[in-house]
Amino acid sequence: MQEVTIRRRPPHGIEAQNCGPVDFKRAEENQPRNILEEIVWHKGVEIARWRERVPLGMVMTAAKASPAPRDFIGAIQAAAERTAKPGLIAEVKKASPSIGVIQPDFDPVDYACRVQIAQAYERGGAACLSVLTDKKFFQGGFENLTLIRQAGVQCPLLCKEFIVEAYQVFKARASGADAVLLIAAVLPNSDMNYLIKAARSVGLQCLIEVHTVAELERMLLLNNLEGCMLGINNRDLQTFKVDLGNTKQIMESAAGQEVLKRGIIMAGESGIFTPDDVAFVQSAGCGAILVGESIVKQGDPEAAVRTLLEQ
């Protein structure tokens, strides 16, 4: 079985490891086939640069010295029990490759603005926050995790990053994250197991994202799944198409039913705009929702969160 459809690296090596012209190199072969490949390939370049400035050992030390992590999954469960709705993971997101800039007032260099959005989400009733850390494609940053944490926000924080190496896991914890996102479309099971272990070693919980029944079946075979939560992304990261029916279809499959039987929390992710959408994914079996665009783009994020969770 082919585990992952995207290629982890360009066939002729990443830019940062380029060792001069080689005859057999064909520029067109080295082009990414979709945006997810482009993002993942660029991560290789980015991590190589980080590593030059801060070696792995130092990031690990910083991760271990960081203030104790908060219980991300516990906060979702507590909110769900209190409200009888899925626990909300509200996303601090300035831009995305699918729609470009979502909130123009959200100044890319004005960090105070991101902190204010995070505080407004918390006041509105979010259980947890998701913070985009990818700079190039999402105009995010690891520093946003630190700033939001330092501003006294109590909600546990998810580091929303395209993780391909343990370096990013330690960087997430060193920046104040309580959980990390791991994407099944990007990571074969051996990497997934390894990265879950790396996360656990510094007290981080994992949200494992799937997009298809096949990916969910593969994740259910992981021997490290215990203590993790799962998420179904309704947006296809290769085409950007959003379809809430994806959550329903996956949850109705045998694999979806197994998730419920095993008591694993499932998040419905992307394309959730209205209380009806929340009710729809809840009835499909989701105990959590991950929402960005619809609450970021409204002028009053606190009211937007309240409205979404009403009814």
**Stretch of 78-86, 200-208, 274-282, 291-299 contacting ligand IGP, by CB under 6 A:** 291-299
Residue 37 binds to ligand IGP (criterion: CB under 6 A): no
- Extract the tokens encoding 309: 């969770």
Distances (CA, A) of 16 to 6, 36, 136, 191, 231: 20, 19, 16, 22, 32
Selected from 165, 215, 269, 277, the binder of ligand IGP by CB under 6 A is 269
Q: What is the DSSP letter of 235?
A: B
Q: Which of 46, 165, 209, 215 binds ligand IGP (CB under 6 A)?
A: 209
Helix axes 213-220, 245-252, angle to 10 degrees: 50
Cβ–Cβ contacts within 10 Å for residue 307, how many?
16
Residue selected from 91, 165, 191, 277 as contacting ligand IGP according to rule CB under 6 A:
91
What residues numbered 149-178 form the site for ligand IGP, per CB under 6 A?
160
Size of the site for ligand IGP (CB under 6 A): 14
What the block records as the tokens of 62 is 């910083």
Tell me the closest approach of the beta carbon of residue 271 to ligand IGP, in angstroms: 5
103 binds ligand IGP (CB under 6 A): no
Instruction: State which residue, 14 or 35, has the beta carbon closest to ligand IGP.
Output: 35
Burial environment of residue 54 by CB neighbours within 10 A (0 to 12, 13 to 18, 19 or more): middle
Per-residue interface string for the shown chain with ligand IGP, residues 217-256, x marking contact by CB under 6 A: ----------------x-----------------------
Tokens standing for residue 160:
């929303």
Residue 10 CA to residue 42 CA, distance in Å, equals 10
Work out whether 191 is an interface residue with ligand IGP (CB under 6 A).
no
Yes or no: say if 189 and 196 are a contact pair by the CB < 8 Å rule.
no
Tell me whether residue 63 or residue 158 sits nearer to ligand IGP (CB atom).
Answer: 158
Q: Please, what is the minimum distance in Å from the beta carbon of residue 52 to ligand IGP?
A: 25
Cα(35)–Cα(32) distance, rounded to whole angstroms?
7
How many residues are recorded in the chain? 311
Residue 24 CB contacts under 8 Å (≥ 6 apart), including other chains: none
Q: 60 or 309: whose CB is closer to ligand IGP?
A: 309
**Residue 244: both structure tokens together:** 């809430």
Q: Which stretch binds ligand IGP (CB under 6 A): 10-18, 116-124, 198-206, 285-293?
A: 285-293
CA distance linking residue 278 with residue 283, whole number of Å: 9
Residue 271 sits in the site that holds ligand IGP (CB under 6 A)? yes
Tell whether residue 270 is a contact of ligand IGP (CB under 6 A).
yes
Residue nearest to ligand IGP (CB): 292
Stretch that binds ligand IGP, among 17-25, 68-76, 165-173, 286-294 (CB under 6 A): 286-294
How far is it, in rounded angstroms, from Cα 113 to Cα 115? 5
The residues binding ligand IGP (CB under 6 A) are 91, 93, 160, 209, 233, 269-272, 290-294
